[in-house]
């Protein structure tokens, strides 16, 4: 009985070597270019990992796929067969991924984003454009909130994603950094610091500091306090709304601290803070218990944008 079972019980790793999609992608790039240097550049890797991957692939298959010279390569008959089949396999995988994403989009249809000030005006338009490029069938429902409210909406299931600068650490909320920006002092355009070009924290501590209430944006408030070692400057003034009171205080020589990319107007100027390495962090956030169905694909698209824009290079 045992003998009649033949190859049915040959271990799968022996009967069929495990080939990774990465190996097929590397091989197709090399088969197209027939040059290790160009193929490595196309794959955005160095040449040694490419050479090692192709050598491992040949060992797994037990045959030569390329005839190599010091600079070029030529496909063997076996290599030509693998190239044709590998292109089809990679195309099928891409089709499967796209179909899965389309099904997930059809299921969720709308992605609700609670974006805090000032992210709603700065980063969000680029992010929304990238998401609609990747997911043309996905509808974005965006609301503008104060940072604490954006966190609350995500936590209570009223939004799928939040986007805020320095959101306060909150149980049940997961965050993912999208952008880092240096802090700058925002002053009236006639302020003496504008001509000076920069200021130290010690200099700023002697000037009237204006901040929003902690109840509106606890994380950003705490970040600014951390610049002064957690001790509020004696000149701190908390204004409960951005209105004429802010204007009067700024004209009188006050200032606030904002991310370098925050929107402003010709009435205001940004002054570099000379002696800090701290950064404002813009975070994507979602519920730990109820992440969006498309979360991995969303993060992939957002990370591509982050890398392209150099948002984490600070």
CATH code of the domain covering residue 81: 1.10.10.10
Whether residues 174 and 288 fall in one domain: yes
Instruction: Give yes or no for residue 84 having a pLDDT over 90.
Output: yes
Give the model confidence (pLDDT) of 237-261 as tens digits. Answer: 887 765 666 778 888 888 999 999 9
Instruction: Give yes or no for residue 102 having a pLDDT over 60.
Output: yes
Rounded mean pLDDT, 154-172? 94
- Domain boundaries, position 73: 3-104
Model confidence, pTM: 0.65
- Assess if residue 314 is contained within a domain: no
Whether residues 215 and 229 fall in one domain: yes
- Assess if residue 147 is contained within a domain: yes
Residue 192: which pLDDT band, with cuts at 50, 70 and 90?
Answer: very high
Residue 234: which pLDDT band, with cuts at 50, 70 and 90?
Answer: confident
- Assess if residue 151 is contained within a domain: yes
Instruction: Give yes or no for residue 118 having a pLDDT over 90.
Output: no
pLDDT on residue 70: 61
Instruction: Give yes or no for residue 15 having a pLDDT over 70.
Output: no
Closest CA to 198 of 276, 282, 133: 276
Whether residues 9 and 99 fall in one domain: yes
Rounded mean pLDDT, 217-234? 90
pLDDT above 90 covers what percent of the chain?
Answer: 52
- Assess if residue 234 is contained within a domain: yes
Instruction: Give yes or no for residue 177 having a pLDDT over 60.
Output: yes
For the chain, the average pLDDT equals 86
Rounded mean pLDDT, 279-296? 92
Whether residues 225 and 265 fall in one domain: yes
pLDDT on residue 12: 46
Whether residues 153 and 264 fall in one domain: no
Whether residues 191 and 262 fall in one domain: yes
Whether residues 172 and 201 fall in one domain: no
User: Domain ends where: 104, 136, 164?
Assistant: 104
Residue 104: which pLDDT band, with cuts at 50, 70 and 90?
Answer: low
pLDDT on residue 166: 95
Instruction: Provide the Cα torsion 191, 196, 199, 203; round to 10°.
Output: -70
Whether residues 175 and 292 fall in one domain: yes
Higher-pLDDT residue of 14, 220? 220
Structural contact between residues 199 and 191, judged by C-beta atoms closer than 8 angstroms: no
Instruction: Give yes or no for residue 205 having a pLDDT over 80.
Output: yes
Whether residues 134 and 97 fall in one domain: no
- Please state the domain count of the chain: 3
Measured distance CA(286)–CA(224) in Å, rounded: 24
- Assess if residue 41 is contained within a domain: yes
Whether residues 8 and 99 fall in one domain: yes
User: Domain ends where: 70, 104, 138?
Assistant: 104
CATH number of the domain where residue 220 is located = 3.40.190.10
Whether residues 70 and 138 fall in one domain: no
Lowest mean pLDDT among 1-15, 56-70, 246-260: 1-15
Whether residues 100 and 7 fall in one domain: yes
């Amino acid at each position: 009985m045992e003998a009649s079972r033949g190859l049915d019980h040959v271990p799968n790793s022996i009967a069929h070597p495990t080939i990774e999609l990465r190996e097929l992608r590397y091989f197709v790039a090399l088969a197209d270019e027939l040059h290790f240097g160009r193929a490595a550049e196309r794959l955005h890797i160095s040449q040694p990992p490419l050479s090692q991957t192709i050598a491992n692939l040949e060992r797994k298959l037990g045959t030569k796929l390329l005839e190599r010279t010091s600079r070029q390569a030529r496909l063997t008959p076996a290599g030509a067969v693998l190239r044709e089949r590998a292109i089809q396999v990679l195309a099928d995988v891409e089709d499967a991924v796209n179909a899965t994403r389309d099904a997930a989009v059809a299921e969720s249809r709308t992605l609700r984003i609670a974006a805090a000030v000032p992210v709603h005006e700065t980063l969000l338009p680029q992010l929304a454009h990238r998401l609609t490029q990747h997911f043309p069938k996905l509808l974005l429902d965006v609301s503008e909130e104060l940072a604490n409210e954006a966190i609350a909406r995500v936590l209570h299931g009223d939004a799928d994603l939040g986007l805020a600068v320095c959101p306060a650490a909150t149980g049940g909320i997961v965050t993912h950094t999208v952008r880092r920006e240096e802090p700058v002092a925002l002053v009236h355009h006639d302020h003496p610091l504008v001509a000076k070009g920069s200021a130290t924290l010690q200099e700023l501590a002697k000037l009237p500091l204006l901040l929003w209430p902690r109840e509106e944006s606890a994380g950003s408030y705490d970040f600014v306090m951390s610049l002064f070692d957690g001790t509020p400057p004696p000149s701190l003034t908390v204004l409960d709304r951005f209105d004429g009171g802010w204007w009067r205080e700024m004209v009188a020589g006050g200032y606030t601290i904002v991310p370098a990319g925050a929107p402003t107007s010709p009435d205001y100027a940004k002054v570099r803070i000379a002696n800090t390495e701290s950064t404002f962090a813009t975070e994507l956030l979602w519920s730990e218990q109820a992440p969006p169905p498309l979360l991995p694909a969303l993060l992939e698209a957002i990370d591509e944008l982050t890398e392209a824009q150099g948002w984490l290079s600070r």
